[in-house]
Protein backbone atom coordinates (compact mmCIF):
# COMPACT_ATOMS: atom_id res chain seq x y z
CA UNK A 1 0.00 0.00 0.00
CA UNK A 2 2.84 2.38 0.81
CA UNK A 3 4.50 1.66 -2.54
CA UNK A 4 1.23 2.50 -4.31
CA UNK A 5 0.95 5.83 -2.47
CA UNK A 6 4.56 6.60 -3.30
CA UNK A 7 3.98 5.81 -6.97
CA UNK A 8 0.81 7.91 -6.98
CA UNK A 9 2.69 10.79 -5.38
CA UNK A 10 5.43 10.61 -8.03
CA UNK A 11 2.88 10.43 -10.86
CA UNK A 12 0.97 13.40 -9.43
CA UNK A 13 4.18 15.45 -9.27
CA UNK A 14 4.99 14.57 -12.88
CA UNK A 15 1.45 15.47 -13.95
CA UNK A 16 1.64 18.74 -12.02
CA UNK A 17 4.86 19.71 -13.80
CA UNK A 18 3.44 18.78 -17.22
CA UNK A 19 0.21 20.69 -16.57
CA UNK A 20 2.11 23.77 -15.39
CA UNK A 21 4.28 23.66 -18.51
CA UNK A 22 1.20 23.23 -20.72
CA UNK A 23 -0.51 26.18 -19.02
CA UNK A 24 2.61 28.34 -19.37
CA UNK A 25 2.85 27.45 -23.07
CA UNK A 26 -0.85 28.26 -23.46
CA UNK A 27 -0.21 31.69 -21.93
CA UNK A 28 2.73 32.21 -24.29
CA UNK A 29 0.48 31.27 -27.22
CA UNK A 30 -2.08 33.86 -26.08
CA UNK A 31 0.63 36.52 -25.81
CA UNK A 32 1.93 35.63 -29.29
CA UNK A 33 -1.59 35.84 -30.73
CA UNK A 34 -2.05 39.24 -29.11
CA UNK A 35 1.31 40.49 -30.43
CA UNK A 36 0.55 39.23 -33.94
CA UNK A 37 -2.91 40.82 -33.84
CA UNK A 38 -1.46 44.12 -32.71
CA UNK A 39 1.14 43.97 -35.48
CA UNK A 40 -1.59 43.14 -37.99
CA UNK A 41 -3.59 46.25 -37.03
CA UNK A 42 -0.50 48.49 -37.10
CA UNK A 43 0.66 47.06 -40.43
CA UNK A 44 -2.73 47.38 -42.07
CA UNK A 45 -3.91 50.76 -40.82
CA UNK A 46 -0.73 52.69 -40.03
CA UNK A 47 1.89 51.22 -42.38
CA UNK A 48 -0.75 50.50 -45.05
CA UNK A 49 0.84 47.09 -45.71
CA UNK A 50 -1.11 43.96 -45.01
CA UNK A 51 0.73 41.14 -43.25
CA UNK A 52 -0.66 37.93 -44.75
CA UNK A 53 1.00 35.68 -42.20
CA UNK A 54 -0.64 37.16 -39.10
CA UNK A 55 -4.15 35.77 -39.52
CA UNK A 56 -3.20 32.09 -39.86
CA UNK A 57 -0.57 32.56 -37.15
CA UNK A 58 -3.18 33.95 -34.76
CA UNK A 59 -5.53 31.06 -35.55
CA UNK A 60 -2.84 28.45 -34.91
CA UNK A 61 -1.66 30.04 -31.67
CA UNK A 62 -5.24 30.28 -30.36
CA UNK A 63 -5.85 26.62 -31.20
CA UNK A 64 -2.67 25.63 -29.35
CA UNK A 65 -3.58 27.92 -26.44
CA UNK A 66 -6.98 26.29 -26.10
CA UNK A 67 -5.78 22.71 -26.14
CA UNK A 68 -2.78 23.32 -23.89
CA UNK A 69 -4.76 25.29 -21.30
CA UNK A 70 -7.47 22.60 -21.32
CA UNK A 71 -5.22 20.42 -19.16
CA UNK A 72 -5.12 23.07 -16.44
CA UNK A 73 -8.90 23.55 -16.60
CA UNK A 74 -9.47 19.82 -16.22
CA UNK A 75 -6.97 19.55 -13.36
CA UNK A 76 -8.73 22.38 -11.53
CA UNK A 77 -12.11 20.69 -12.02
CA UNK A 78 -13.48 23.54 -14.11
CA UNK A 79 -14.58 21.45 -17.07
CA UNK A 80 -17.57 19.62 -15.63
CA UNK A 81 -19.36 21.21 -12.72
CA UNK A 82 -22.10 19.22 -11.01
CA UNK A 83 -21.90 21.13 -7.74
CA UNK A 84 -25.52 20.75 -6.67
CA UNK A 85 -25.58 16.99 -7.21
CA UNK A 86 -22.24 16.69 -5.42
CA UNK A 87 -23.52 18.69 -2.43
CA UNK A 88 -26.82 16.85 -2.15
CA UNK A 89 -25.48 13.35 -2.77
CA UNK A 90 -23.88 10.96 -0.35
CA UNK A 91 -20.33 9.62 -0.67
CA UNK A 92 -21.34 6.87 -3.10
CA UNK A 93 -23.22 9.33 -5.33
CA UNK A 94 -20.24 11.69 -5.35
CA UNK A 95 -17.87 8.90 -6.27
CA UNK A 96 -20.19 7.68 -9.04
CA UNK A 97 -20.54 11.22 -10.42
CA UNK A 98 -16.76 11.67 -10.43
CA UNK A 99 -16.22 8.35 -12.19
CA UNK A 100 -19.02 9.03 -14.71
CA UNK A 101 -17.69 12.50 -15.47
CA UNK A 102 -14.15 11.21 -15.77
CA UNK A 103 -15.28 8.42 -18.10
CA UNK A 104 -17.23 10.82 -20.33
CA UNK A 105 -14.35 13.29 -20.58
CA UNK A 106 -11.84 10.47 -21.14
CA UNK A 107 -13.96 9.14 -24.03
CA UNK A 108 -14.09 12.60 -25.60
CA UNK A 109 -10.34 13.11 -25.17
CA UNK A 110 -9.67 9.66 -26.64
CA UNK A 111 -11.66 10.58 -29.74
CA UNK A 112 -9.72 13.85 -29.99
CA UNK A 113 -6.39 12.02 -29.74
CA UNK A 114 -7.43 9.43 -32.32
CA UNK A 115 -8.84 11.84 -34.89
CA UNK A 116 -6.14 14.41 -34.13
CA UNK A 117 -3.50 11.87 -35.11
CA UNK A 118 -5.52 11.04 -38.22
CA UNK A 119 -5.72 14.72 -39.17
CA UNK A 120 -2.01 15.26 -38.56
CA UNK A 121 -1.10 12.40 -40.88
CA UNK A 122 -3.63 13.33 -43.57
CA UNK A 123 -2.64 16.98 -43.89
CA UNK A 124 1.11 16.55 -43.51
CA UNK A 125 1.71 17.50 -47.16
CA UNK A 126 -0.55 20.57 -47.12
CA UNK A 127 0.97 23.97 -46.39
CA UNK A 128 -0.75 26.83 -44.60
CA UNK A 129 -0.98 29.88 -46.84
CA UNK A 130 0.90 32.85 -45.49
CA UNK A 131 3.11 30.78 -43.21
CA UNK A 132 4.37 28.13 -45.62
CA UNK A 133 4.45 25.46 -42.91
CA UNK A 134 2.73 22.10 -42.84
CA UNK A 135 -0.88 22.13 -41.67
CA UNK A 136 0.08 19.25 -39.39
CA UNK A 137 1.57 21.75 -36.95
CA UNK A 138 -1.85 23.29 -36.38
CA UNK A 139 -3.66 19.98 -36.00
CA UNK A 140 -0.97 18.57 -33.71
CA UNK A 141 -2.56 20.62 -30.93
CA UNK A 142 -5.47 18.16 -30.77
CA UNK A 143 -3.61 14.97 -29.84
CA UNK A 144 -0.94 16.74 -27.77
CA UNK A 145 -3.36 18.87 -25.77
CA UNK A 146 -5.77 15.96 -25.34
CA UNK A 147 -2.99 13.68 -24.09
CA UNK A 148 -1.92 16.30 -21.54
CA UNK A 149 -5.57 16.68 -20.55
CA UNK A 150 -5.89 12.92 -20.01
CA UNK A 151 -3.03 13.07 -17.50
CA UNK A 152 -4.71 15.99 -15.74
CA UNK A 153 -8.04 14.16 -15.77
CA UNK A 154 -6.67 11.12 -13.97
CA UNK A 155 -4.78 13.36 -11.55
CA UNK A 156 -8.03 15.18 -10.80
CA UNK A 157 -9.77 11.88 -10.13
CA UNK A 158 -6.95 10.58 -7.92
CA UNK A 159 -6.36 13.86 -6.09
CA UNK A 160 -9.23 16.34 -6.43
CA UNK A 161 -8.42 19.96 -5.57
CA UNK A 162 -9.17 21.03 -1.98
CA UNK A 163 -11.85 23.36 -3.33
CA UNK A 164 -13.97 20.32 -4.29
CA UNK A 165 -13.70 18.80 -0.84
CA UNK A 166 -14.45 22.10 0.94
CA UNK A 167 -17.54 22.73 -1.17
CA UNK A 168 -18.92 19.31 -0.29
CA UNK A 169 -18.52 19.80 3.44
CA UNK A 170 -20.38 23.16 3.47
Output the pLDDT for position 168.
47
Cβ neighbour number for residue 149 with a 10 Å cutoff: 29
**Residue-by-residue DSSP string for 26-66:** HHHHHHHHHHHHHHHHHHHHTS----TTHHHHHHHHHHHHH
Low-confidence ranges of the chain (pLDDT < 70): 1, 79-86, 163-170
Output the pLDDT for position 83.
66
Q: What is the pLDDT of residues 93-115, one digit of tens each?
A: 878 888 888 899 999 999 999 99
Q: Where are the domains of the chain?
A: 2-169
Q: Let me know if 81 is exposed, middle or buried by CB neighbors in 10 A (0-12, 13-18, 19+).
A: exposed
Amino acid sequence: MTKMRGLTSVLLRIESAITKIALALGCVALALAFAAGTYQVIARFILLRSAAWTEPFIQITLIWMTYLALAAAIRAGSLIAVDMAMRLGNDLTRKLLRVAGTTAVFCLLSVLVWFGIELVTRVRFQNIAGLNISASWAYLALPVGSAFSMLALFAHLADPPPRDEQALSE
